[in-house]
Amino acid sequence: MKKILITGGAGFIGAHVVKHFVKEYSEHQIINLDCLTYAAEPKNIVDIESFDNYKFLKININNAEDVDDVFKKYDITHVIHLAAESHVDRSIDNSIDFALTNVIGTVNLLNAAKNNWIGKRDHLFYHISTDEVYGSLGLNGSFKETTKYDPKSPYSASKASSDHFVRSYFNTHNLPVVISNCSNNYGPYQNEEKFIPTVIKSLIERRPIPIYGKGKNIRDWLYVNDHVLAIEKIFNNGRVGETYNIGGGYEISNLDLVYKIIEMYVDLYPNDFNYNNLISFVDDRKGHDFRYSIDSSKIRSELDWSPKMKFEEGIKRTINWFKK
């Protein structure tokens, strides 16, 4: 039996990952560790509370002693590390929380794994990161696993640092690790501070839709369930010591994305209101990266993964979830 510790399992992506693993791997014990910050939503995982192979622990990864106790008490054999401060805007004004959770918290987990896995085999520390560690692109090119790190925001700097610490423990301590860097996720459960939920909630409540600058910044969007399936592939078959980029393959500017969401919203909930009038341009974010684009050819060829969700269908499901 694997004892799989999933950190941040009450957050957006984490909740989807935890529920998938609990339901699909009944032979393994799933321990969900989350300190329940503002970005967590316990009601999203309430339906798995009765499963025999599931346990929730309210613990902060910044507490090294508590983290080490979890590894000892539950004999953790595998880690899927998602817990992180993730909102770029918040990192600009409050960098210390990002350094503590994303860097120190990750090192606490690495130390617990290193100290408790001595002489043991068939263990894995899977660290989940972001494409933002690579910096910003112009109109051409895509991020590859070999792209030089060039983080621009305190958030991406903290994630880049955590990535480097994970690799250093592989090289220095021979800790079995794997890393993935994903593009922007969207879907049900996402916190309302993120862009797509902000747009949808603004439509529902008919309030201004804030768009940074002129809305020309471009992102690659990945439906959260496609990300979960990629995580599963990497967890089961990824090569130790390797990095895998995960992208949705759907690039669109922020302004065009808003127009598309409005169009889909009106298709789903027809009325005569002119939602385009809600668009409101605001001062651009400091150090706003222009474009992200992921080259997912490695995970596609090595692990036979590709995104299945069409963007339009994924947005419709997301709209309906927020509307409900």
Give kind and range of the element (H or E) at residue 230.
helix 224-237
Tell me the C-alpha to C-alpha distance, in Å, between residue 277 and each of 33, 204, 215. Answer: 43, 14, 15
How many residues are recorded in the chain? 324
Tell me the C-alpha to C-alpha distance, in Å, between residue 196 and each of 54, 55, 81, 298. Answer: 31, 31, 24, 28
CA 187, 191, 194, 197 torsion-angle sign: positive
Is the CB of residue 34 less than 8 Å from the CB of residue 54?
Answer: no
Residues assigned a catalytic role: 131-132, 155
The widest CA-to-CA distance across the chain, in whole angstroms, is 67
Give one DSSP letter per residue of 89-146, joined into a string.
Answer: HHHHH-HHHHIIIIIIHHHHHHHHHHHH-TT--S-EEEEEEEGGGG--B-SS--B-TT
Tell me the C-alpha to C-alpha distance, in Å, between residue 261 and each of 54, 98, 137, 153, 155. Answer: 36, 31, 24, 27, 27
Q: What is the dihedral of CA 191, 194, 197, 198, to 10 degrees?
A: 120
- Nearest C-alpha neighbor of 190 from the set 45, 22, 19, 318: 318
- d(C-alpha 104, C-alpha 94), whole Å: 16
Conformational region of residue 223, where left means phi above 0, alpha means psi within -120 to 50, and beta covers everything else = beta
CA 59 remoteness from chain centre: 19
- d(C-alpha 119, C-alpha 69), whole Å: 19
Is the CB of residue 178 less than 8 Å from the CB of residue 239?
Answer: yes
